[in-house]
């Protein structure tokens, strides 16, 4: 076996049979669950345990990140939703309608991540409303971030299950055809 053959087997471009796809998928969902609203979850846990200045620092970090998220969106929700819907529906149609595995794999990553993105925007608006009303405390922010992480983990778990089953079916189909 030549070096070229070894490398081409190692870097298989068929998505669902590629180790790199599954490692990337795991890393993406791990990071999505860890970095809720731009705040690392270990900092949320530490603030929940220690309280005091650590919780106040977390509260300020969340306030800054929420302001940044809302500034980035900047009232363009309709345009972003339309563009995102077009891109995601194109991926789904090309992938599943035409049976192209690479687009299926990308769609199975980006569709659930778009749900997480929408959830993050909703959570950012909720926290911003609490801050504007003066009802935002470090304990409330910690509670909001914990709830957000739970929802992201549930979405990620469901996405991993669906992707795993779909990938398994694709690999079985390829092995039967060959």
Q: What is the pLDDT of residues 46-102, one digit of tens each?
A: 999 999 999 999 999 999 999 999 999 988 989 999 999 999 999 999 999 999 999
Residue 11: inside a domain: no
Tell me what pLDDT residue 11 has. Answer: 55
| pLDDT-derived band at 150, boundaries 50, 70, 90 | very high
Q: Phi and psi for 137 in degrees, rounded to 5?
A: -120, 160
Residue 140: inside a domain: yes
Take residue 102 and report the two structure tokens written for it: 């690479």
The 3-state DSSP class for residue 14 equals coil
Tell me what pLDDT residue 18 has. Answer: 85
Tell me what pLDDT residue 86 has. Answer: 97
The 3-state DSSP class for residue 39 equals strand
The 3-state DSSP class for residue 70 equals helix
**Which pLDDT tens digit goes with each residue over 99-140?**
999 999 999 999 999 999 999 999 999 999 999 998 889 999
Tell me what pLDDT residue 109 has. Answer: 97
Residue 92: inside a domain: yes
Residue 41: inside a domain: no
Residue 110: inside a domain: yes
**Which pLDDT tens digit goes with each residue over 162-171?**
999 999 999 8
Tell me what pLDDT residue 13 has. Answer: 54
Residue 4: inside a domain: no
Residue indicated by tokens 């300020």? 60
Tell if the pTM clears 0.85, that is, is over it.
yes
Number of domains forming the structure of the chain: 1
**Which pLDDT tens digit goes with each residue over 32-45?**
999 999 999 999 99
Tell me what pLDDT residue 17 has. Answer: 85
**From CA 173, how far away is CA 167, in angstroms rounded?**
10
**From CA 161, how far away is CA 109, in angstroms rounded?**
12
**From CA 104, how far away is CA 51, in angstroms rounded?**
45
Tell me what pLDDT residue 7 has. Answer: 59
- Give the structural domain span for 170: 52-177
The 3-state DSSP class for residue 17 equals helix
- Which positions ≥6 away from 32 have C-beta within 8 Å? 113, 116, 152, 156
Residue 118: inside a domain: yes
Residue 141: inside a domain: yes
């Amino acid at each position: 076996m030549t070096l070229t053959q070894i490398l081409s087997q190692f870097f298989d471009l068929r998505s669902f049979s590629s180790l790199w796809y599954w490692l990337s998928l795991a890393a993406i969902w791990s990071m999505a669950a860890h970095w809720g609203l731009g705040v690392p979850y270990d900092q949320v846990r530490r603030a929940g345990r220690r309280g005091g200045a650590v919780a106040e620092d977390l509260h300020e970090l969340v306030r800054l990140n929420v302001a940044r998220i809302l500034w980035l969106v900047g009232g363009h929700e309709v345009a972003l939703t339309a563009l995102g819907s077009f891109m995601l529906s194109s991926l789904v149609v090309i992938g599943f309608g035409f049976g192209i595995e690479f687009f299926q794999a990308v769609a199975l990553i980006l569709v659930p991540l778009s749900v997480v993105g929408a959830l993050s925007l909703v959570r950012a608006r909720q926290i911003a409303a609490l801050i504007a009303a003066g009802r935002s405390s470090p304990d409330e922010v910690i509670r909001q971030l914990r709830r957000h992480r739970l929802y992201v983990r549930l979405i990620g778990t469901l996405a991993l299950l669906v992707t795993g089953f779909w990938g398994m079916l694709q690999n079985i189909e390829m092995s039967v055809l060959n």
